[in-house]
Each structure stands twice: as structure tokens, then as C-alpha cells.
Amino acid sequence: MDTNTLDPEKKLPEVNPRLPRSSTTPDEPWLRYVNIDIIAYVLSYTLFHPWTSWVLVLCLRAQHTPWHHTEIQVAMAWAFAMSTVSFFNVMSDRIAFGAPREVDLAEEVIVITGGVEGLGGLLAETYGMRNANVAVLDTKRVGEDEAEEKGVLYYECDVGDAEQVEAVAKEIVEDLGPPTILINNAGIVRPKPILDSTAAEVEQTFRTNTLSHFNTLRTFLPHMLREGRGTIVTVSSVLGHLGAANLSSYTASKAALHALHQSLRAELAQNPEARDIKTILVSPGQMSTNMFAGVETPSSFFAPVVRPVDVAKEILRLVEKGESGDVVLPLYSSWISVLGLLPAGMKALVRRWSGVDTAIAKAGLVQAGRAVEKSG
């Protein structure tokens, strides 16, 4: 044994430890993270939740509050009201979308377009970590090592080209089996005024954002019909309802997706073989991806920027519950249709206050005039 190791007078080398930072984000007041969506979420599980409402009634009875007292009568009336609203919401979804289908990820084959980055990439990696059968269609290339690490099969494909989609579909069927879940997420945006947009640029935007959905539906829907089950997710945008200056081709292509998805639902409802094919329409507001990097919302309280992970969680929830439905985040997005009911002058004031027609220019994206492949 080395006696030097036992020498108490021998000094050990000094080490300057680097402790991990508790947070990589700058310190901000906690109010900065409070918005109307968080408040609505908390209320939905407390004041406006039937179970919580009846717990309040039980608490009053536990305190021996007589039935004829005002407080317990108000509490019971509120509990009945929340129960009635909840019941009608469940019945409304059942009438609109039918009963949910059974979903076992081990028996599903998931196809995601535009699934290398952003929202699509998040969905692909999540399913890959859960050992699901995932095929991603994207123009971006992914190395074999990265694909193996993520547990996802990547196919280089321009989904705006019908022939490429059909060729890749044959590979997917051979590699994984018949696709049963289709998530149409691919898209691009060209922030240019109408007069500065070329015919080729507009055509490319519609091919990627809109025609790609026709290509994938015509290719993969027959497999779902033969399997007798499936889920189709259409990723659109709240801008499809609004339109916006310097985003004409993008907003028009997204507006077309709303009509396409409603037509798809109507056709599936008339097909007896499509009883267990579910549809999900995703219409998020601004997400924190590179698609609209630098664009600011008019109010972080009333119009917060949505995190892709929050949208992904809602998509995953509906897909795995085997339900149809709509994913609309943040809260203001679910009320956009009300804007069409307002008088013209009031609509103009709302648009001016929201800055929807000036946000792209203020962010400096118009001058760039570049195409941004959708990653969220």
C-alpha cells in the first residue's frame, strides 16, 4: 500500500464545483406565468366540476347544515347545474362523434407527416419512446442512428407529391403493417404580401398545406376501412378562421383544411364501414415553434403563446381514448367563430387591437420572405 495515501499532511487538489442552475430561464414575477387559460383550467376542475360541487354539498351536511338553509340550497342548485352541463356535454359528443373505439398502441401503425421537428417531432418521439409503430414522412433527412435511438422509421417524402406518398405507403405496409392512425401535420409558411408572392410559391404552399391531406387520405384511408378502425388528425390553425396580412397563402390553405375536415367527417358518417374511424381537428393559436419565431401576441394574459407539448398532450389524449373531437388552444381560439357574428366596425376594432394584421411585419418576417417548413 502506498503510504502517501495515508499522509494526513498531504493536501488534496482543489476542485471548483459547478453546481447546476436551478433554472435556465430568467427570474420573472410569478404573475408573468398566469393567464386566462390557467385560470380556466383550474376552475374546470374545481368550481365548475360536478364532483367538486357535490363535495361542497357533502361538506355542508357534515357540518349539520339544515336542508332549508340558503347556503346548502345554493350549493345543491349549483351542483345540479354543473352535473346537467357535464351530462349534456357528454351526450353532445356522443351524438356528434359516436362511441369511442378501442386503441392498443401495440396494434396501431402511426403515420405522421412533417414529423422531424416541432409538434410533429414531439408526437413521433413520444410514440417512439412508447414502442409504438411510427412512420414519419418528411422532406428532411434523419440519420439511421438518430432514427434507431428514437424508435421511429423516417421516410424522405414530399407529401405534396401524390406519387411519392403512394410509393412510401407501400414501404410502410411492408415494414410496419397497414396504417391506422394518420396525423397530417406537414406545412410551410411564406410571409409575403399577395402582390409579392409568385405563382410557384403559392402553389407550393397549397401543395404542402392542403393537397398533401388529399394525397394522404386517398392513400391511407382505404387501409383503415379494410382494418375497420382508424384515427385521422388534421392539424390546421386558428388563422384559417381569421386570415392575416402577409400570410394570404398560408391562411387560405389552412381555411381549406377546416372545410376538408368537415367534409371528411360527413363522408365517414355515411359509410357503415367507417364507424370506428375517428377524426380530430387541431386548430391552435400561435405556438412557440420556429414557424412564427419573433411574433408577439397582443396580451400574454388573454392570448398566451401555446407550447407544442400542450397541444401534443391533447392530441395524444384523444387518440388514445379512441375519440373524435377538436383540439383548440389557447382559450381564445375556441371563441374565434364568435368574431364573425360581430358588426363590421367591431370586428375591425378587434383585429386592430389584436395586431393580427401587423404582427408578421413587426417581427421582421415579411422582409425575409422565406419559406419555413412547419415544425409545429
Q: For 327, left (φ over 0), alpha (ψ -120 to 50), or beta?
A: beta
Considering the candidates 127, 150, 154, 254, report the single residue annotated as catalytic: 254
Going by C-alpha positions, the residue among 113, 351, 372, 112 that lies closest to residue 239 is 351
234, with CB counted inside 10 A (0-12, 13-18, 19+), is buried
Annotated catalytic residue 254 = yes
CA dihedral 160, 162, 165, 170 (to 10 degrees): 180
- Output phi, psi for 44, to 5 deg: -65, -25
177, with CB counted inside 10 A (0-12, 13-18, 19+), is middle
Judge whether 287 and 306 are in contact, CB under 8 Å. yes
Considering the candidates 127, 250, 278, 374, report the single residue annotated as catalytic: 250
Long-range CB pairs of 144-153, under 8 A, 24+ apart, other chains included: 150/124, 150/125, 152/115, 152/124, 152/125, 152/127, 152/128
Judge whether 182 and 216 are in contact, CB under 8 Å. yes
Q: How far apart are CA 176 and CA 179, in angstroms?
A: 8
Give yes or no for a cis peptide into 330 (omega within 30° of 0).
yes
Active-site annotation, residues: 250, 254
